Structure formats: structure tokens, C-alpha cells
Structure 1
Amino acid sequence: MKKLVAVTSCPTGIAHTYMAAEALQIAAKEMGYEIKVETQGSVGAENIIDENDLREADAVIIAADTNVDKSRFVGKPLIEVPVKEAIKDAKGLITRALEVKVSDKKELIDDVQKIKSKERSNRTGPYKHLMTGVSFMIPFVVAGGILLALGFAFGGIYVYNVHGSIAETLFSTGKQAFALMIPVLAGYIAYSIADRPGLVPGFVGGALASTIGAGFLGALVAGFAAGYVVVGIKKFVKLPKALDGLMPVLILPVLSTIIMALLMVYILGSPVKALNDGLFAWLKSLQGANAAILGLILGLMQAFDMGGPVNKAAYVFATGTIVAGGSGIMAAVMAGGMVPPLGIALASTVIARKKFTEEEREAGKAAWALGASFITEGAIPFAAADPLKVIPSIMAGSGVAGALSMLFGCKLAVPHGGLWVLVIPNVMTNLLLYIIAIATGMVVTAIMLTILKKDVVEE
């Protein structure tokens, strides 16, 4: 019997990671193969592949949008694809993995022949580095944001003036955790590009971006710059063999950090800060219809690829706009992200059950919880089965929800949590109107699905 091992990992480590693992396990069982899937999710690596698993494996599958260490798979046939590839066509992926050949098992894994999908060719490089940074940043954003909200809940809007109280401790701790998102984003972008040597200049570059006021955009610039600075040093700085040991512990961290400091302070920092300030001034000026248009665009982005690069771009942008008192952009993004699974759940379990198979109706029950938790990926199984009808429907609903959220002046003080965090005092501005915006988007999606989809005839 053929045996395979696999690793799945998505930027947030929540939905795609485990959906891909389940798809691979089901496909392997149906094909008569054994498979062990290691999930590198938000809680860390689970079901870890050990030496015995590797020894018996006929092929390795990596379905990931983040940087996965491949050194342990040297000498094994390996295929690497985006995480969505495993969800869409797990059987095809397994078949392709078993067709990979390794001519020389002493070669490094990067030299092993790989079969890659067309989609993969468009999503390597900068996208993968960015998503690696995002995957490490999000826990800091979520923890920090919710601690800030709890501080406001227990201590009121002026909690920061009540020194020594539990509420102020929660608030100040959340502020520190939230502030770390910029260095962490930059550090792990650099790590994705240059491996561990990229961490020091990446974190330092991110910290400098934060200090000089370059914000989220500065973190992006610092992360990529630090990674490629380290790559350049490795390529052009050559030491005698006897001094090779100095490279990782002295030359790389010190030289790369000096270069990053000079770049951020004297070259990159001021222009990026000006761009960042201009962007936020423009966003602050948006009112009424203009704000609604921005909300519409953000909602459409959330639903377009349901957790993919477009969705994550809108989300990461929104997290950078959170300030004391909340962010209208963050509110619009979360509303747009909740609507796809909620709208599908409404259609499949309540108003248009006959348009869905029994299996889809069962999945619709889970979609209620996923949507309420701001996990847009809950819509993926439905979109994969009928993309031409489902994707336009969820984009319409999300766009409406985002536009209404901005039009109503709703503001959100936390970056995640869905409906569950809205019960915390001071987290949401205009809560009732926000719920109306989400409900309206749900109904729009459900009605469009009812109109576009045909009745299912089941035997």
C-alpha cells in the first residue's frame, strides 16, 4: 500500500489548514492509500511527521501559503502547491505526488523535481513572503485588540488614566501586544525570504518603522528590504573557511541590522511615512457616499477569494487602521467577511433548502457558526461546487454589508472575533446599525442564491 505524508498551512492557521488536511485524508482513504497530515495551524504543529513516517513515505505533499521548512524531506519525491489546491482536487494532487521522481536522493530538496499548478506560478515570491509574515502577525493583532477592548469594557473610555487597575493592566498589555504586530510582520517577511538570519534585521526594521511613524506600509518595506539585504550579504560577502562560523552569529546579524538602520532612517522611512500619513488622511476624509464606496470595495475583496490573497490584503490593511475608538474600515471588513458563510447558511438551511443537496444543507449548519466567527472560508465548499452562481452572490452580499457599515458610521475596536466580541462594551460603535448591515448582506446573498441556483434533484 502506498504511503504519503503531507503538511498543510494557511496564513491564519484556522480554516484552510484543516480543510486541506481533511480533504487529503478523505481522498487518500478513497484511493486506498495511507496518509499522515501534519497541520501547521494557529495552535502550532499538530500530528507531527516523525522519522518513521518519512522512512515509509512514498511521496510528500506540501499544501501551504506560508514558508514551510522542507529540509527534513530531502531525498523524497515532493510536490508543493497552494493550500487551496488540496481543497479543490485532493485526489489529483495525490496522483501527481506519486508521479514525482527523484533521480539523486543526495540532492537538496530544492533541486528535487516538483510538479506545480498554474495557480502556484502566480502566487510564489512576494505573496508567499507576505503571507508568512501575516500568519505570525495575526495572533498578536487578535490578542492585543481583544485585550484593549476588555480594558475599555471594564474601565470605561478613559481606562488609561486609571493607573494600577485591572482594567488598565489589560488595556496597557493589549496595547503592547498590538504594537508588536509591526515588528513581527516585518521580521517574518524577512524570515520567509532569508530564513533565520532575516529575523534580526526584519524585527529591527519593523521596530524602526513603528518608531518613525511609517506604520504598516513601513513594516512591509522593512520586511522585504531586510530579507533581501541578508540574501545579498550571503551572496557577496565571502569569508575564509576558518571564519565561516562567524557568518551566522556575527557578520549577518550585525551587518544586516546596520544596513537596515541606515535604510529606514535616512532613505526609506520618510517617504513611506509621508505615504502612510497621506493614506490615513484620505481615509479620514471619507464621509457619506465616498465612505460607502470604500466599504463596498472592501466587502467585495473579502468575498472574492474567501481567505485568499485579495481577502487577506483587505484584512491586513484594516488592522492597521485600528485606533482608540475603533475603525470604520475594520468594521466594514469584518462585516464583509462574515456575510458569505452566513448568507449561504441562510439560503441552504432556511429559505432555499431545495436548491442544495443534503450534504450541502448539513454543511450549511456549520456555516452559521463559521460566519458568526468571521471565518469567511466556510463558504469555500459551496463556491468550489458551483462557483459561477455562488461567488457573485456572496460578493454582492459582502459588498452591500461593507457599504452599509461605512455609511452607518460603524466602528470596530478589535480585529477579529465576529459576532462574539460585539457583546463587549465599547467594542462597536452603532451596534444595531452594524447588525442591520450584516443582516442585509446575508439576505442579499441568500436571495441571489435562490434566484440563480436550480432545484436539486436527488435520487
Structure 2
Amino acid sequence: MSQDLITADLVVLDADLGPTKNDVIHNLAELVAKTGRAEAAGLEADALAREEKAATGLGGGIAIPHCRSAAVNTNSLAFARLKPSVDFGAFDGPADIAFLIAASDGSDDAHLALLAELARNLMRSEFTDGLRNAQTPDEIVTLVNNAINASADEDASVAATTLPPVAGKPVMVAVTACPTGIAHTFMAADGLEQAAKAAGVELHVEPQGSGKVTPIDPAIIASASAAIFATDVGVRDKERFAGLPVIESGVKRAINEPGKMIAEAIAASHDPTARKVAGDASSAAASQGGSQLSVGKRIQQALMTGVSYMIPFVAAGGLLIALGFLFGGFDIALKAGATGARTCADLASWVDAENCAGGDSIASLAISAGWASGFGNYLGALLFTIGAAAFGFLLPALSGYISYALAGRPGIAPGFVGGVVAGAVGAGFLGALITGLLAGVIASWLAGLKAPRWLQGLMPVVIIPLVATTIVGLVMYLFLGKPLAAVTTALQEGLSNMSGGSAILLGIILGLMMGFDLGGPVNKAAYLFATAGLSAQSQASFQIMAAVMAAGMVPPLALALATTLRKNLFTEVEVENGRAAWLLGASFISEGAIPFAAADPLRVIPSMMAGGAVTGALSMAFGVGSRAPHGGIFVFFAINPILGFLVALAAGTVVGAFAVLAAKQFWPAKQVAAVA
């Protein structure tokens, strides 16, 4: 099976693949596509999107751009020995060795295990020296396959027996995890294992990768003196490590500085004052000395976690409400109380009463006259009511999962209750943000307290939720509720009273934000502002949502139009991406513009911001409102007036397209490279 991962056709030696990492990724994706293993544009886009999350330069002249992608049909390794070297963001300079690891979305555990073995071998000097000295592509293929198979056999033999701890030797446990779960996860694991061996420490590592995860034996955890968490995505089942001193960092530190982390873990194991993992509290309960994440970064991660968990409630609730309007009309909210109807008699006010025979069932009514109109109203009311119920979870979900990101499961109850209280006192999404942070900090602090052994089992499930929920609720009702409600009310009234120039200015600002980073933090901030406001169900909130959605549709549509009008100004891959961008843009998927922006940010991003600003301004000027938080043109029934929406969207698309064409025509690539 390992032979399928790499062939001589996927190897290039001493090749110039371009001056930037984007060029290298583009050429390696094309190489994979030529063998029929992937679709080039999709693989490139997913690899570049992964690169945006964190640089894949590892140090030592090695880079491993990688991704899981629906564009990949066969798990593959593309190898390049680069000449000249290319900067992939490593701390010690450019890379002369690059592996593109392309894993399919449906990868099975066996293939993922082989990819993991490759990542482990990249931490071994004898393997990388062999890659640098190979004379032919076939030598590279043989070297890779031998290393993978040898490592897999070794891992299998070790897994076949459970080794007891060695007497007198310190025992430690570690967890590694990265967002993709393929490369950095296993390289960090191997780096820590080698450093532990050199330090005389018995280390058991649990790589929480994309494939099957084998948990560390509970007996080993019980005998461990410290834990290391080198993760970018949190630790699964963290409560298993309760009571252990912990050193925490991002996954790349375990690759770059594994020896230091082992030394810190040894020191923590002898320090009675070191903070420990308490219950299943998250990273906030980790040792302050061992954590490499700043307070600002923790808060940012927590807020993004809350937003990501809240969005499904917004999308489901908003679209259901919009469908309710489609079937029952925009006054359906006034009739939604009738949704308890179960028989024809119950629906007397909704359908033709003459065709209703007392207790007839709804099914029997299907053949009677007037059914279509009556059932449409009934179904609309049902959908509206279900959507409104989903919207009711917006504030609790936002607050609850912010708290969860800071404190793990003990933070869920106080966070959710805080969100409900924020809604009850009228503090809105601003109050939910505050309660989420407050609940998370309090729960995390309580988790770090040293409790008697007899009380430790009750801490995460009873004591922490009880105390934290009480404090958060009292603080909101007694101190923060009214001030936050006043701020929220003032904000809502200000938005509701916006007209003329002020509304247009807001539209311009939102349009600029939506076009800036195309799905990044700024884009998400504008989207959160719009979706959180939908809960108010006011005309101003509908207009903000329409402006945000229309402006977010502009970048992919503008680039699709530009690639259609002037194909000669774009690469073949970009022209292909442009065709797909029509549908992505129409669906309000701004990420369809990422491949263009990643390859040419200085010309593409300002052009998209200009188009987004025009669309945002016109949408506000026309008073366009959207009751749906997503869906683009496919939720036309929830947009009013639809003509104003289409005009605003078309204008911004044309401005963005001609702006990027002008930039490419009159500002050649060489000048852009010189500025960059």
C-alpha cells in the first residue's frame, strides 16, 4: 500500500519551482494532478488554506505543505528538492526539501498511518540526509517506502506488547495534535520521543491525528509524573490526565524545541507549586510557566470557538425562519402561535372551514379545496416556530462555548446559563461575550484549586458548575446586566435610526471588512456583527445582514467575471478556479476567492475591498433587507427588495472585476514583487 503513496512521477530533483511557497505548492499540486490522483485547483486551494493557518516550514531546510482535500482521490506524496531554496516560514531560514502531503477526505486509517510515519521520519537526520544525496527519483521512492515500512513494522511490534514502566526511570505522558492531524502531529510526537530518550525519560505519546487514535494506557497515566500537551486544537478526553503537572504549547514548539519541553516537564514534576490539570479543564488550567499561549491568544481562540459553535444555530434558525416567510408570508410571526394544531378543526382559521369535518386529520384534508393555501400557512408557522427556537440558543451557545474553550466541560453550564441571563436582561450578544469569558475564567480558576482527594471527583461535575454558575448569574443580575443592556439598547436604536449617509457609511465599512481577508477574522467579525443582530428581528438588522451577505458574495463573483473577460491575465489554474467561483460566489462562500488572494494579495485584496464597499453602500442605500443569514442568491425569497440586492451585487462585482483587471494590466507582477 505504501507504494501507492509516492512514485517516480511525483518526484522532482534540484528544480526551480518558483520564488515563493505559493509557487512551490502550485507546481507540486500540478504534479499530483498530472498522475490523475487529484484535481489541481482544489488541492492547491486547500493546501494554501492550510498554509494560512500556520507555516509548514519545520527548520533544518524542510517544509511539509499538507492538507486533507476533497480534490484528492488517492493519498499522495509529491517530493521536490528545491534549487534555489524557498522560504516556508521556518525559524531558521528557507527549505531545500519539500513534501506535499495530499490526503483525501475519505482517507482510511492505514493510509493515514503511512503518512504519519513519513512525518516521523522527517525528524531523523539519516532520512533527510538520504533525501539530499539521492541521485534519481527512484532512489527517493525507495528511501521513502523503506523508511515508512520499517517504522510501521517497528510501531506494530511495540504496539503488540504493553511495556511496563522501567523502575527508577521518570515516566511522562504527552499528547500532540495539529488542525490537519497528519504531519505536525506525528513530527511533534517523534521529536518529543527522541528528546525524552536523550534525557533518560520514559515518554508515552498519544498523537491525536486524523486516523485511529490509540489512547495511552490508564495505568501508565497513573504512574506518570508530568504531562506535555503540544496541540493547536485542544486535547481529547483531557480529564484522564487530572492531577498531573502539565507543560503546554503549540504543536510546532515540540518540533523545534522538544528538549526544552522535556526539561520543563522534569522541573514541573519536582515543583509542588506547579499548576496541574484539574478535572477536564482546558488549557487555562495548565501550568503558567509551561504555557506558550498569551492571554490575548487564549481569548481570541475562545471567542472564535464560541462563534464557530454559534453559527450552526444562526444558519439553521435563520434559514428556517426564512422558509417560514416563504410558505406563510412575512406576517407569519403573528400567526405562529397556531402551530400546535393537529386536526382539521384546529386549523379552522387557516383553511377553508367548509371542507373541515370536525376531527378530520390533516392527511384527510389534503384532498379538500383550499388545502394548498391553508397548509402553506400551517407549514410556514411550524418552520418559523422551529427557527425561532433555534435562534433562542444563539446567546447561550455563544456564551457556553466561549466558556468551554477556556475551561473545558466544567465551563459549559455557567456559560450557557450566563448566555440565557444575558438574553433575559436584554444584554444581547455583547452580554453573551462577557458572560462566556467570565464563566470560563471562573471555572478555570476553580479547576486549578487544590481540592482534597475525596472532593476531587465532585469538582468538575458539581462544585465548579454550581459555584461558577452562581457567580456569573449574580454578577450579571446585580452589576453588569443593566449597563450592558443599556449599551445594547443604544446600539440597536442607533442602528434602527440609521438612514442616509450614516447607513451608507456603515455599509461601506462592512463591505471593506468582508473583502479584506475572505473568511478570516476580520470577515468573521463583520459576519458575527450581522448574524448576532438578527435576533432583534428589526429592519436595521435585516439591512445589515443583507449588506454583509451581498458584500461577501462579491470577491468570488468579481474574480469569476475577471477571469472570464481577460483570461490572458490569469494562470490556467486561476481560470479554472474562476469557473468554480461563479457558484461559490452565488452561494455566499467568500473563500472561493482565497486562491487568487493568496497568489497575488497586493492586487487582488484591495480590488475586492473596493467591490465589497460599493455593494455594501448600495445595499444600505436601497434599504435591502435579508432575513436569512446565509445562502446567497438561493435565499432570494428572504431578501427584500430583491431587485435592489441584485443591482448592488452586480455593481460591486463589476467594480471588483475591473479593479483587479486594471491592477494586473497596469501594475505588472515584477513591480508587485518588488513592493512585497
Q: Indicate the TM-score class for this superposition, using the shorter chain for normalisation.
A: 0.7 to 0.9
TM-score by length of 2: 0.55
Residue 30 (str. 1) matches residue 203 (str. 2):
no
Q: Report what 2:531 is aligned to.
A: 319
> Which of 180, 190, 205 is the aligned partner of 2:418?
205
What is the alpha-carbon distance in structure 2 between the residues aligned to residue 200 and residue 133 of structure 1? 14
CA distance in 1, matches of 2:493, 2:451: 49
**What's the secondary structure of 1:29's corresponding residue?**
strand
What is residue 43 of structure 1 aligned with on the other side?
none
Pairwise mapping of residues 7-86 of structure 1 onto structure 2 (< 5 A)? 20=49, 24-25=66-67, 29-30=78-79, 56=117, 58=120, 62-63=178-179, 72-73=206-207, 80=232
* Higher helix proportion (structure 1 or 2): 1
CA contact (8 A) 1:37 1:49 kept: no
Q: Distance in 2 between matches of 1:283 and 1:234?
A: 41
Question: 2-side partners of 1:53 and 1:78: how far apart?
Answer: 21
Residue type of the alignment partner of 2:573: E
For 1:428, the aligned partner's letter is I
Question: Paired residue for 2:459, among 244, 247, 260?
Answer: 247
1:396-407 to 2 correspondences below 5 Å: 396-407=610-621
* Structure 2: 5+ residue stretches without partners: 6-43, 52-64, 69-75, 81-97, 124-175, 189-204, 209-226, 234-250, 266-276, 278-282, 340-377, 670-676
Query: Post-superposition shift, 1:454?
Result: 3.5
Aligned pairs for 1:407-426 within 5 A = 407-422=621-636, 424=637
Q: Structure 2 vs 1, CA of residues 434 and 125 (structure 1 numbering), >3 Å: closer, same or farther?
A: same
* Residue 310 of structure 1 pairs with residue 522 of structure 2: yes
What's the offset of the Cα at 1:101? 3.3
Give the alignment's Cα RMSD to 1 decimal: 3.8
Residue 153 (structure 1) aligned with residue 365 (structure 2): no
- Structure with greater contact order relative to length (CA < 8 Å, sep ≥ 6): 1
Could you say which residue in structure 2 is the equivalent of 1:218? Answer: 431
Match status 1:265 vs 2:265? no
Unaligned runs of 5+ in 1: 4-14, 40-45, 82-93
Q: Deviations over 1:7-41 (max 9, x none)?
A: xxxxxxxx9988646961499533575858698xx
Contact residue 77 and residue 100 of structure 1 kept, 8 A: no
Residue 73 of structure 1, CA deviation: 3.3
CA distance 1:147–1:259, shift in 2 (3 Å): same
Deviations 1:308-364 (A, max 9, x none): 11111111010122216661101111111110111011001x212111011110011
Q: Report the Cα offset of residue 124 of structure 1.
A: 1.9
Corresponding letter in the other structure for 1:331:
A
Among all aligned residue pairs of Structure 1 and Structure 2, give the percentage whose two residues are the same amino acid. Answer: 43
Does residue 428 of the first structure (1) align with residue 585 of the second (2)?
A: no
After superposition, what is the alpha-carbon deviation per residue over 1:275-314, rounded to whole angstroms, capped at 9, x for unaligned? 0000111111110121111000000011111111111111
**Equivalent residue of 1:30, what SS?**
strand
Alignment partner for residue 662 of structure 2, among 426, 448, 451? 451
Distance 1:16 1:136 in 2: 25
CA distance in 2, matches of 1:295, 1:126: 28
**Hey, what does 1:101 align to over in structure 2?**
258
Over residues 109-159 of structure 1, what are the superposed CA-to-partner deviations in whole Å (9 max), with x where a residue is unaligned?
Answer: 989x99x9xxx9797222111110111111110000010011111111222
Shift of 1:242: 2.2
SS in 1 for 2:66: helix
Q: Which structure would you say has the larger Rg?
A: 2
Distance change (3 Å), C-alpha of 1:421 and 1:415: same
**Which position in structure 1 is the counterpart of 2:301?**
128
For 1:179-194, what aligned pairs fall within 5 Å after superposition? 179-194=392-407
Relative to structure 1, is the Cα distance of residues 253 and 97 closer, same or farther in structure 2, using a 3 angstrom cutoff?
closer
Alignment size in residue pairs: 415
Does the CA contact (< 8 Å) of 1:77 and 1:101 recur in 2?
Answer: no
Q: Which residue of 2 aligns with 1:293?
A: 505
> 1:383 is matched with which residue?
597
Structure 2: distance between partners of 1:135 and 1:289: 33
Q: Given residue 454 of structure 1, which amino acid in structure 2 is its aligned partner?
A: Q
- Superposition TM-score, scaled by structure 1 size: 0.80
Aligned match of 1:87: none
1:344 alignment partner, one of 559, 582, 588: 559
Contact 1:21 1:37 in 2 (8 A): no
